[in-house]
Amino acid sequence: MKQNLRIPRRTFLRGCGAMVALPMLDLMQPVTSRASESNRPPRRAAFFYVPNGVVQETWHVSGTGEQFEWSRTLKPLQDLREKISLFSNLDRIKVAGTDGHAQASTCWLSSAAPEELSPAGYPLKRTVDQLLADQTASHTPFRSLELSCNPYRDNRESVYFDNISWYGHGHVAQSMRDPLDVFQRLFRVNEQDASASILDLVLEDARSLEKKLGSQDRQKLGQYMESVRGVEKQIRRIKERKGTIQDLKLEAPTVPWPELTRHEYVQLMGDLMVLSLQTDLTRVASLMVAPERWGTPLLVHGLFDKPIVHHSMTHQQGDQGVRNSLSDLDRYHVEQFATLARKMDAIQEGEGTLLDNCMFMFGSGLSSGKDHVYTNLPLVIAGSAGGAIRTNYHFQSAPGTPVANLWLALTRMMGSTASRLGDSTEALKLS
């Protein structure tokens, strides 16, 4: 007979100024209620934002419902088909007289109607991720987590280009760029202890817990602790390499982590996001793969031989070669998203996986960066939010359907009772 032993999983492992949150373990729930509805894993929401829109001709899938066929850009998701939902014909109204790119990023998740303008002239209110966090924040140490894979030091653009999360008019949920800062924030590592392994600090306590765990929980705890150790080691390598930036003699702007490839940077920040969701440190997170409209060249290792300027390339789509290169970049971004989705899907949680209990969205605030249009926005969701979203399905709405209909549906899944959001007309039916 199993012991009825409960463990507060965000507070058990402690040591010397560090705190590590535990993953969901069977031992944490009372024996009599482990299979009950109320003890199902919580729903989470995560957003993966790409700037400057996508190449339309290679993005859109053919077929609707379950009878869709992958487009060239979305093919990296095909092995996850049973856990993917695709969306088309969802629009946002562009407000004239304001910058197209700044409005795209900062208002992508806005809950404002087109006529509800902030003092800066943007239809900006509390963003959807923060509306979701309103429903979940009382259960987690962190209300939400905002990350950006922006390697630039030349802050030539305003706050509107590098943030997608807002508490309200003029109150940005500032995105974090430095993975070391993110790690220390999540796991409360004091500066004087940063050189020591967090797992070494808590190992003694973990051993005492391990004796009380079943084989499945022991395996889950071991896998989780190993993933934390891997992230910590990589961050420490970044810190040690920062001095090499002077030796590279790069032209401004120089990146804070010059020896990280784009893939390494995006995946490291993504790993931190996944850890924060896995441990229930937060249930709402966002990750910008890059800022909007930045005019500084960026090297995408393994894809281009020399640095590119994504924004300017979008305005050269009359050239087939440029269009092909942009399509390759779109597919690269989908590959990064797919890799993180697979990592979530490898984490067992209850009867399913972490991905099953998430709504992990890929999207952009522009449909086409060439024309600065916000119609038929590119949107993909991985995961079903605990069965609330139909997967292996292409939701093709009527042309002109407000994307706010989708945002309203997502907030209701988290417990909101709102009847309207922005310019929504009704909640999108997702089941």
Q: Which residue has the tokens 């089941």?
A: 431
pLDDT for position 248 = 40
Write out pLDDT tens, residues 208-258: 666 677 777 777 777 777 777 767 766 665 555 445 434 544 343 334 555
Q: What is the pLDDT of the chain when averaged over all its residues? A: 84
pLDDT for position 15 = 37
Q: In the beta sheet, which residues pair with residue 381?
A: 85, 361
Domain boundaries, the chain: 40-177+256-413
Q: Which residue has the tokens 């629009």?
A: 91
* pLDDT higher than 80, residue 314: yes
The DSSP code for 429 is P
Where are any strands of DSSP class E within 109-235?
A: 145-148, 166-168, 171-172
pLDDT for position 27 = 59
Lowest mean pLDDT among 148-157, 270-279, 323-332: 148-157
Write out pLDDT tens, residues 148-174: 998 877 666 789 999 999 999 889 999
pLDDT for position 192 = 43
pLDDT for position 101 = 92
Number of H helices, E strands in the chain: 11, 13
Write out pLDDT tens, residues 5-63: 444 444 444 433 445 566 766 655 544 444 445 578 999 999 999 999 999 999 999 99
The mean per-residue pLDDT over the stretch 387-399 comes to: 98
Pick the CATH number of 40-177+256-413 from 3.30.750, 3.40.720, 2.90.10, 3.30.43: 3.40.720
Question: What gap in Å lies between CA 413 and CA 388, rounded to an integer?
Answer: 7
pLDDT for position 188 = 65
Which residues lie closer than 8 Å to 255 by C-beta, 6 or more apart?
151, 152, 153, 245
Handedness of CA 224, 230, 236, 241 (dihedral sign): negative
Please report how many Cα atoms fall inside a 13 Å half-sphere around the Cα of residue 22, on the Cβ side: 26
**Long-range contacts, 59-66 (Cβ 8 Å, 24+):** 59/330, 59/378, 60/88, 60/376, 61/86, 61/88, 61/394, 63/394, 64/394, 64/396, 65/393, 65/394, 66/392, 66/393, 66/394
Angle in degrees, 0-180, between the axes of helices 320-345 and 262-278, rounded to the nearest 10: 30
* pLDDT higher than 50, residue 93: yes
Question: What gap in Å lies between CA 129 and CA 109, rounded to an integer?
Answer: 7
Question: What gap in Å lies between CA 372 and CA 369, rounded to an integer?
Answer: 5
pLDDT for position 259 = 65
pLDDT for position 84 = 98
DSSP 16-32: TTEEE-----GGGS-GG
Nearest to 151 by CA among 263, 39, 24: 263
Pairing of strands 352-353, 348-349: antiparallel
Nearest to 363 by CA among 50, 93, 28: 50
Write out pLDDT tens, residues 56-85: 999 999 999 999 999 999 999 999 999 999
pLDDT for position 253 = 31
Phi-psi region of 292 (alpha: psi -120 to 50; beta: other; left: phi over 0): beta
Q: Which residue has the tokens 């190992």?
A: 203
* pLDDT higher than 80, residue 377: yes
Q: In the beta sheet, which residues pair with residue 379?
A: 87, 363
% of the chain residues with pLDDT over 70: 78
- φ, ψ dihedrals at 95, nearest 5°: -90, 120
The mean per-residue pLDDT over the stretch 287-306 comes to: 91
pLDDT for position 246 = 46
The DSSP code for 198 is H
pLDDT for position 404 = 98
Which residues lie closer than 8 Å to 102 by C-beta, 6 or more apart?
122, 157, 158, 160, 161, 292, 293
